[in-house]
Structure 1
Amino acid sequence: METAEIRRRWLSFFESKGHSVVPSAPLIYDDPNLLFVNAGMVPFKPYFLGQQTPPWDRATSVQKCVRTGDIEEVGKTSRHGTFFQMNGNFSFGDYFKAGAIEMAWELLTIPQGQGGYGIEPDKLWATVYEDDDEAADLWVQLTGIPKERVVRRGLADNYWHMGVAGPGGPCSEIFVDRGPEYGLDGGPAVDEDRFMEVWNLVFMQSSLSDVRTKVDFDISGDLPKKNIDTGMGLERIASILQGVDNMYEIDEVYPVLEKAAEMTGKRYGAQSGHDAAHSHPDDVRLRVVADHIRSSLMLIGDGVTPGNEGRGYVLRRMLRRAVRSMRLLGFDEPSLPHLLPVSMERMSNSYPELKSGFGRISQIAYAEEEAFRRTLAAGTTILDTAVAKTKAAGGTRLEGSEAFSLHDTYGFPIDLTLEMAAEQGLEVDREGFRTLMQEQRDRAKADAKAKKAGHANTEVWKKLRESGATDFRAYVELTSEANVVGLVRDGDLVEELEPGQRGQVVLDRTPFYAESGGQIADAGIITADGARLKVLDVQRPVKGLIAHTVEVLDGAVRPGAEVIAEVDPEWRISACQAHSGTHVVHAALRQVLGPSALQSGSYNKPGYLRLDFAWGQALSPETRSEIEEVANLAVRKDLPVSAHWMSLPQAREWGALALFGETYDEQVRVVEIGGPWSRELCGGTHVQHSSQINALTVTGESSVGSGVRRLEAFVGMDALRFLAKERALVAELTDLVKVQPGELKDRVAALLVRVKDAERELEKMRQEQVMAQVGKLLDYTRDVRGIRVLTHDAGEGAGADDLRTMALDLRHRMGDSAPTVVALTGVAKGRPVVVVATNAPARERGVKAGALVRVAAQTLGGGGGGKDDLAQGGGTDVTRTGEALGRVDAEVAAAAG
């Protein structure tokens, strides 16, 4: 049974049992404590925590998940992966233990011909919490499973909580016996390789007041409503139903592994067998490729783009580990164009949007691979320099800081550093590298903790939310009468905000737009009897609640006060122009570049917009002008702008575009400009007709990551001001060069040609002056133990190219009749340079250019290297060039011995 069919049957079964089918949330989820959704219940947390009222009594989903706890371990075992799918069924105060157990047994054991999974009942085992007599009895009574196949286990195995104060309860896990070829008999307590866990039923019944560890916590009482939260790993059940050993061999993963093996000439499992704990390195690499290709596909599909921090860095690491693994397997050409389509074909059976969006996805992935290939080339050069420097200093071990810099700054994998350093006879200070990596992780954790602290006091917001949702009036009015529901200062509820203080004000009704969807919050004033509050920011700390960050200008405000909330009308109209302008530019992009140029992020504020979109190369000036013209033509056409509320499936059928990474409710708002020309899911504020956007001018286009470009533009009065500055600048330039505006481009081009010609002539004269010194220098040759040595400091302006030319010319003039060494120093751009050349007789005497350069460069505070006949180096101390040449003399004398 294919994985897509297992997924379909899950949703169909629970829908038939009265569950609402909830689509998977995007992997990027609106939770400040998570990089990605990492469990099936994450989208349901607000309901279990009591922060929100669930819209259904029972629900089911198949949730996309990514866990990145230790990417380095992926592939080393057959169990560990990053992307996975979690089947879940949930009850919010509806059915409890009996219902969960009964439905789980039914789905697992119904014959496949009748819509179930068809697992033989005598292969199933269950575990329960050791004190949960009720669950143990229900298993026997409801399913007929023998009592001896219901195993009691302790807190570590069969009790669930979130790790913090909140809901918790015992759980019951379901295991499938895979047979004696997988291990010992005796149930899950004996061998969890033979007995594979496939489903966990959590009976959420208790309120935990203090959670110290997994097994050490305090229970304060019962939850007001008992809930069910279950999770079945889709990949695990697929391996059971497809009769394969592990997740890497199921139909959604193995085709990529198989293709990678074919491309590299490897045969998976040929040298490892089933013993994943002792896998051959080639098998580990093939599993890394299969896992990371699929995970990257799903992450890019949900709007993640490669970057140097956060989610983007996780994606970048996975893509680069996949490419690196293919390289280690012997495939040096671009590999993603061969592998990514294979993964897309398999995963699109469950997620058809991957096929329709593959142009964008592949563009981003392929650009990242190409960038990494360039990184490998550049990193190799940097590594070679570090190795040469280490050897010059007589070292045998590359410093951990060098390895960390290559890894952290240049994206050069540590395993590649280890391999290439070993090829050149050096070890790497792994302990130093690990220490620096740990320091970086500690900093990241501290940063995450600091961010988390900003959201920690959710109890305050939850308490205010209990008074009801904020009546959001931003779409229909700029001024609202309202009452103060509560005041917050420094994270705590307060009874008053006084002049000069800052805090948050929660109103029962507000016309202020709260920051979301790339649009910043409104500005304005809140006035009460004798009080004026300047609104600095507006946010939604919990769903349904709007908090206004204010500075009290005059008077004082207290809970219960009647106020008037007024949005700055100029601010709002400029913000509307910018947000509608963003939609117009997005539509213009897709019209000019094609449907794959989809928005991946945006930011707009009054008068300014920024739009990130999927595209693999810089836009030409002509293309930028065309996009700007299409956008302004849409503005001039005075297209109607309207908003419609509908269900998410209806919006998709209507062709509305969704912003990647955004989480949407079941009812969504679709904003359209000119009908189908621009239809997007959007909660922002907009103009009523496109002509109200006024002027729109594109001011910049740049790269913000592999396969992602950024357009910036001004709208309205800001666009006109920008154009006025441009016009003034052109006027100044035309006055300076004494031409008409239409002749300016040609005149500037002509001036640039003249400047370049002058620079070339000056460079030619400088080189002639340098080379004129060569004939005179021959008079300064001296004998050092039978070796002719010529040293010279060419001084300021003599760069490496000049010194190499001089050294080779001098060596040629001095001939091969006797051993000869030429050593020259110079200073270029404030840094000293040294070049050494030797002839064949000198090298026969053991005098080699590379060794001499390392000694000289070390004196200059740097490093260098090269071949035995010609080498160069550099440093930082320009005052020691004479000393460096003296060291060359001494080294020649020592070598000539």
Structure 2
Amino acid sequence: MKTAEIAQRYLNYFEKNDHLIVPSASLVSDDPSLLFTVAGMVPMIPYLTGVVPAPHPRIADVQKCIRTNDIEEVGRTARHGTFFQMLGNWSFGDYFKEGAIRYAWELLTSSEADGGLGFDEKDLWVTVYETDDEAEAIWRDIIGLKPERIQRLGRADNYWNTGQPGPGGPDSEIFFDRGPAYGKDGGPAVDDSRFLEIWNLVFMQDFIENIRSKTEFDIVGELPQKNIDTGMGLERVAFLKQGVENMYETDQVRPVLDRAVELSGRTYGAVHEDDVRFRVIADHVRSSLMLLSDGVRPSNEGRGYILRRLMRRTVRAMRLLGVDAPSFPELFEVSKDAMKSAYPVLETDWSVLSAAAFAEEETFRRTLASGSTILDLALDETKKAGGSTLSGSEAFLLHDTYGFPIDLTLEVAEEAGLDVDRPAFDELMRGQRERAKADARNRKRQLADVSVYREFRAVGETLFAGYTDLQTDSRILGLIVDGAPVQTASEGQVAEVILAETTLYAESGGQVADKGTIVGTGFELDVLDVQKPVPGLISHTVHVASGSVAVDDRATTVVDAANRRAARQAHSATHLVHAALRDTLGKTATQSGSLNRAGYMRFDFAWSQPLSVETRSEIEDITNRAVNDALEVTTRIVSLDEAKEAGAMALFGEKYGSVVRMVDIGGPWSRELCAGTHVSSSAEIGLVSVVGESSVGASNRRIEALVGQDAFRELAAERTVVSQLSAALKAPRDQLSTRIEELQSSLKAAEKRIAQFEAKEREGRVPALAESAKPAGAFHVVAASLGEIGSADDVRTLTLSVRERLGSDAAVVALGGVANGRPIVVIATNDAARAAGAKAGALVRIAAGVLGGGGGGKDDVAQGGGTDASALDAALDAVVTELKGA
């Protein structure tokens, strides 16, 4: 039974049993404490906690998930994968334990001919929470499961909670017995390799607090509404139904593994370590493809770093299998073909997704090449110093800064006959992980408890009237101060205001929040920010400028009209720039982020190369021609399917419901899904001036532009500068470039002549300085101040020239000078001086200490400086004194 068929049977069964079927949420989680959707229940948390009313009492879905905390186990066990799909059915105050158990059992054990999954009852075991008599009785007395195949386990195994105060409850898990070949008998309590968990039924009934660990917390009461949260692992069911050994050999994953086998020329099943690498490749390629399809792009932080790590582990595994040539064009296409029936977006967006994948592989191949050079130098230095072990810090630097894998460092070092201080490397890695965990915990602690919005959201969604009006009368539904609901807020306080209706736009879709005020009888509130803390609810953060405001007061929202007009211009300009980019660069130049505020727009897009000046100009020209053409801007509320059929662009990072707002500029020329505010005609934008284009990652670029009056003011300022230059250089505007090039050429020629003169003058000082050498202990010493100098390089050049002039006797040269008001000292020693104990690095630190600064270098030449130029002679005397006592 194919994986997609299993998923469809699941959805068909629950749809038949009055469940609303919802699409998978994005792998990019809405929860700011999570990088990804790590479990099937994550998108349902607002419904499970009651913060947001569920759209239906019963829901079923197939949810995409990414989890990388066990990444080192991938390929080594039958069940660890980074990307997986959870089949979930949910009840929000509807059916409870008996209903959940009945549905699960019926679907699992019904015949395939009747639409079920066809598992044999004799192969199934269950566990229940140690005190859950009710669940055990249902399994035993209603389902008819033999008591010896029902096992009770404690909190560590059969109690679910989020790890934070809130809902929790006992669960019941269903296991499949894989047979005696996989372990000993005795049920899941004895062996979880033989007995594989396939379905978890969570009975969410308790409210818990004071969480000290996974098993230590206090159950303080019952939830007002009992919910069902279940999850069945699609990949686990698939490998059982397909009769294969693990998830990597199922129909959605195995094709990638097979292609890796073909490319490597090796055999799957012959060598254990090779098999692990094949499975890692199969898993990571699919995970990377799915992350790319949800808008994630490789980078050095956050989600992008996780994606980059998956992709680079794939390249590394292929290299260890003997494949040095690019492999992503082969592997990713195979994964796309295996997954596209379940996720058609992989086919429709293939050109964009593949371009990002291939660019990352090429980037990492360059990294491997440069990292190899750095590693070779480090190994040479270790050998020259007589060492046999590369330091852990150098290995960590290669890994952390250059992305060079530790196992590759170990391999190359071994080939060079050296060891690597792996314990020291591991300790540095542990420190990095601890810092990352602490940062994550800190971010989690800083999150507001969104349950404070539950009662306000229960009233309904906040009505946004700002598309057509700048003012509206409303009622204050709630006030929040310091995270807690209050009845009033007084002058000087900062509070959150929840209204039934508002014209103030909440930050979303790249557009910043509106500015404005909220006024009513006896109060005026300055709006500081507008956000959507939970879906459907708008919260206004305000400063109470005067008076006192209370719940149930009537209030009027007033939008700052000038700011809104400029913000509309910028947002509509962003759509025009996006269309112009796709006209110029092609359909693969898709948006990956944006920011729009009054007078300014920033647009990030998928592209790996800098734009030429000509391309930038063309994009700007197409955009302003669209402005000049006064294109009509229309908005329509349509179904998501209608919008996709019409070719509307769905943008990175945005979540869409079944009904969406589609914005057209010039008909289909620019057609995007967007909830932002827009002009009614492109002519209202006025002007778009591109002021910057830069890199924001290996495969992403950024365009910045000023819009409307800000664009005009910027161009007017440039015109003033041009006029001033024209007057100063006595050249017409159209000849300015030629005149400046002529001046630059003249300046370079003059600088060259000056440099030649200075070099000659420096060389002329060498004989006199060398003749000034005086004995100091066992050394001939030149110690002199050169006065004002051009740069430290001048002192260094002169110091080395004098040292060469002094011959083979033990000689030390210490010269100082003042550059831009700061003293500089350079000290050089020859071979005989070093043999007699004179070390330039140690001597320069003495001099720099007198100057109030620091310095360092090698034994033969070193440089230092400080802040007290008047102490330069004293610093040089300190060096001579030190040498006399050596």
Task: Report the TM-score range of the alignment, normalised by the length of the smaller protein.
Answer: 0.7 to 0.9
Q: Secondary structure at the match of 2:90?
A: strand
Secondary structure of the equivalent of 2:705?
Answer: strand
Aligned pair 1:574/2:566, yes or no? yes
Which residue is 2:634 aligned to?
642
C-alpha distance in structure 1 between counterparts of 2:588 and 2:319, whole Å: 30
Contact 2:371 2:404 in 1 (8 A): yes
> Structure 1 length normalisation: TM-score?
0.84
- Correspondence 1:265-304 to 2 at 5 A: 265-272=265-272, 280=273, 282-304=274-296
Asked if the contact 1:642/1:672 (under 8 Å) is kept, the reply is: yes
Bigger relative contact order (CA 8 A; separation at least 6): 1
Match of 1:481 in 2: 473
After superposition, give the CA deviation of every residue in 1:853-877 in whole Å (9 maximum; x if it has no partner).
9999999998989xxxxx9986656
Matched, 1:427 2:424: no
Offset from partner CA, 1:57-83 (integer Å, 9 cap, x none): 222111111113254444454432222
Q: Which amino acid aligns with 2:440?
A: K
Aligned to 1:589: 581
Which letter maps to 1:702? Answer: S
Indicate the larger mover: 771-780 or 735-744. 771-780
Within 1, Cα distance between the matches of 2:72 and 2:645?
Answer: 41
Q: Aligned partners of 1:209, 1:722: CA distance in 2, in Å?
A: 57
Structure 1 stretches of 5 or more lacking a match?
273-279, 783-788, 866-870, 892-897
Q: Structure 2 matches for 1:312-323, cutoff 5 A?
A: 312-323=304-315
How has the CA–CA distance of structure 1 residues 772 and 564 changed in structure 2, closer, same or farther, with 3 Å as cutoff?
same
SS of aligned partner of 1:541: strand
1:762 Cα offset (Å):
4.6
1:52 CA displacement? 1.5
Aligned-pair CA distance for 1:32:
1.7
- Please say if 1:720 is aligned against 2:676: no
CA contact (8 A) 1:297 1:340 kept: yes
Say which of 340, 343, 347 aligns to 1:355.
Answer: 347
| Aligned match of 1:895 | none
Cα deviations across residues 293-318 of structure 1 (Å, max 9, x unaligned)?
22222212111122333222222332
Structure 2 residue 443 is matched with structure 1 residue 451: no
Which residue matches 2:869? none
* Alignment correspondent of 1:556: 548
Residue matched to 1:342:
334
1:277 is matched with: none
Q: Take 1:269 and 1:877, find their aligned partners in 2: how far apart are those partners?
A: 64
**Counterpart in the other structure of 2:231:** 231
What displacement does 1:95 show? 3.0
**Contact 1:612/1:708 (8 A) holds in 2:** yes
Equivalence map 1:113-152=2 (5 Å): 113-140=113-140, 143-152=143-152
741, 756, 759: which is aligned to 1:749? Answer: 741
1:701, distance to aligned residue in structure 2 (A): 0.8
Whole-angstrom CA distance in 2 between matches of 1:68 and 1:656: 33
How far the C-alpha of 1:150 sits from its partner, in A, is 2.8
Post-superposition Cα deviations, 1:12-49, rounded to whole Å, max 9, x if no partner, equal 33223332221111111211221111111111111111
Q: How far does residue 612 in structure 1 lie from its aligned partner after superposition?
A: 0.7
Between the aligned partners of 1:390 and 1:247, the Cα distance in structure 2 is 44
**Which residue is 1:665 aligned to?**
657
**8 Å Cα contact 2:769-2:802 kept in structure 1:** no
Percent identical across equivalent pairs?
49
Please tell me whether the aligned partners of residues 390 and 419 of structure 2 are also in contact (alpha carbons under 8 angstroms).
no
Counterpart of 1:184 in 2: which secondary structure?
A: coil
Moved more, 393-402 or 136-145: 393-402
- Alignment gaps of 5+ in structure 2: 775-779, 849-853, 867-871
> Which amino acid is 1:626 matched to?
E
Q: Deviations for 1:673-698, whole angstroms, at most 9, x for unmatched residues?
A: 12211221111111111111111111
The 5 Å alignment of 1:802-813 reads: none
Does the 8 Å CA contact 1:401/1:432 hold for their aligned counterparts? no
Tell me which residue corresponds to 2:457.
465
> Which range moves more in the overlay, 48-57 or 362-371?
362-371
Task: Tell me the amino acid that sits aligned with residue 119 of structure 1.
Answer: F
Mapped to 1, the partners of 2:329 and 2:815 lie a distance apart of: 48
> After superposition, where does 1:162-177 map in structure 2 within 5 Å?
162-177=162-177
Kindly indicate whether residue 432 of structure 2 is the aligned counterpart of residue 437 of structure 1: yes
Structure 2 counterpart SS, 1:204: strand
Pair 1:106 & 2:98 matched:
no
Q: Secondary structure at the match of 1:497?
A: strand
Answer yes or no: is the 8 Å Cα contact 2:803–2:829 preserved in 1: no
2:93 corresponding residue in structure 1: 93
- Aligned-pair CA distance for 1:405: 4.7
Q: CA deviation at 1:708?
A: 0.6
1:239 Cα deviation (Å)? 1.5
CA distance in 2, matches of 1:780, 1:101: 98
The AA in structure 2 aligned to 1:43 is P
**Aligned mates of 2:749, 2:73 — CA distance in 1:** 58
SS in 2 for 1:623: helix
Distance 2:479 2:295 in 1: 37
CA offset at residue 606 of structure 1?
0.9
Contact conserved, 1:824 with 1:885, CA < 8 A, in 2? no
**Partners of 1:531 and 1:187 in 2: how far apart?**
68
In 2, Cα distance between the equivalents of 1:534 and 1:745? 50
2:65 is aligned to: 65
Task: Output the amino acid matched with 2:159.
Answer: Y
Whether the 8 Å CA contact 1:326–1:332 is kept in 2: the answer is yes
- Alignment-mate amino acid for residue 174 of structure 1: I
Q: CA RMSD in A?
A: 4.4
Deviations along 1:118-142, one digit per CA (max 9) or x if unpaired, are 3333322222233334433433555
Give the Cα separation in 2 of the matches to 1:247 and 1:881. 73
Change (3 A) 1:18 1:777: same
CA 1:510/1:835 → structure 2, altered by over 3 Å: closer, same or farther?
same
Instruction: Determine the structure 1 residue equivalent to 2:514.
Output: 522
TM-superposed deviation, 1:469: 3.2
- What is the rounded CA distance, in whole Å, between the counterparts of 2:446 and 2:750 in structure 1? 56
Q: Is 1:652 aligned to residue 652 of structure 2? A: no
CA contact (8 A) 1:393 1:858 kept: no
Counterpart of 1:118, as a letter, is G
Pick closer, same or farther for the CA change 1:11–1:756 going to 2, 3 Å: farther
For 2:797 and 2:356, the matched residues in 1 are separated by 43
- CA offsets 1:80-130 (integer angstroms, 9 cap, x no match): 222211111122233333333333233333444554333333322222233
* Maintained 8 Å contact 1:644/1:669: yes
Kept in 1: contact 2:802–2:813 (CA 8 A): no
**Using the alignment, how far apart are the partners of 1:388 and 1:516 within structure 2?**
54
2:180 is aligned to: 180
Cα distance change, pair 883–718 in 1 and its aligned pair in 2 (3 A): same
Q: What does residue range 676-715 of structure 1 map to in structure 2 within 5 Å?
A: 676-715=668-707
Q: CA deviation at 1:261?
A: 4.2
Q: CA 1:887–1:189 in 2, change beyond 3 Å: closer, same or farther? A: farther
CA 1:268/1:797 → structure 2, altered by over 3 Å: closer, same or farther?
farther
Q: Distance in 1 between matches of 2:182 and 2:420?
A: 43
SS state of the match for residue 664, structure 1?
coil
The code of the aligned residue for 2:421 comes to E
> 2:21 maps to which residue?
21
Residues 600-639 of structure 1 mapped to structure 2, 5 A cutoff: 600-639=592-631
Which letter maps to 2:248? Answer: Y
1:779 positional shift: 10
Could you tell me how far apart the structure 2 residues matched to 1:160 and 1:40 are? 13
Relative to structure 1, the CA distance from residue 425 to residue 477 in structure 2 (aligned partners, 3 Å threshold; closer, same or farther) is same
Deviates most, 696-705 or 148-157? 148-157
Deviation at 1:151, TM superposition (A): 2.7
Listed one character per residue, the Cα deviations across residues 461-503 of structure 1 (whole Å, up to 9, x for unaligned) are 2233344432321112111112222222222223332322222
Whole-Å separation in 2 of the counterparts to 1:369 and 1:831: 46
Structure 1 stretch 362-371 or stretch 800-809: which is displaced more? 800-809
Correspondent of 2:489 among 489, 497, 502: 497
Match of 2:302 among 298, 310, 316: 310
Shift of 1:265: 4.6
2:548, 2:75 → 1: CA distance? 62
Q: Given the superposition, is the C-alpha separation of residues 392 and 776 from structure 1 closer, same or farther in structure 2, using an over 3 Å criterion?
A: farther
The count of aligned residue pairs is 864
Name the SS for the 2:332 alignment partner: helix
Matches within 5 A, 1:838-877: none
SS at match of 1:557: strand
